[in-house]
Amino acid sequence: MKRTATKEPPNAYLDWRVWLAFLILFSISVPWYWPETHDQTLIGIPLWVLVTLSSSFFISALTAWLLLFRWPNSSKPEDDANE
């Protein structure tokens, strides 16, 4: 798989949109906003558990995407003088 060069700044992985996405996903993943009396279930699992697991999956997917496609490439080309 070949990566294509983009014209993004070197710290594109630290963009404010990335941090906003993480903030929203982490806010959704913590079930503090669910009422204590909420007992709705889906396929026998409490709904808040499914929401937490889903947001955890998306947090992991976003992190993997950042590492694969946005993380700076640290490999440097070899100098011809070292031959």
- Given this model, what pLDDT does residue 13 score? 59
* CA 56/CA 18 separation, integer angstroms: 16
- Given this model, what pLDDT does residue 7 score? 59
Looking at the predicted structure, is the pLDDT value of residue 68 above 80?
A: yes
Tokens 């558990």 correspond to 49
pTM of the entire predicted model: 0.68
Compute how many other C-beta atoms are within 10 angstroms of the C-beta atom of residue 25. Answer: 19
Mean pLDDT of the chain: 80
Q: What are the pLDDT digits (tens) for 1-56? A: 555 555 555 565 578 888 899 999 999 999 888 888 888 889 999 998 999 999 99
- Given this model, what pLDDT does residue 26 score? 93
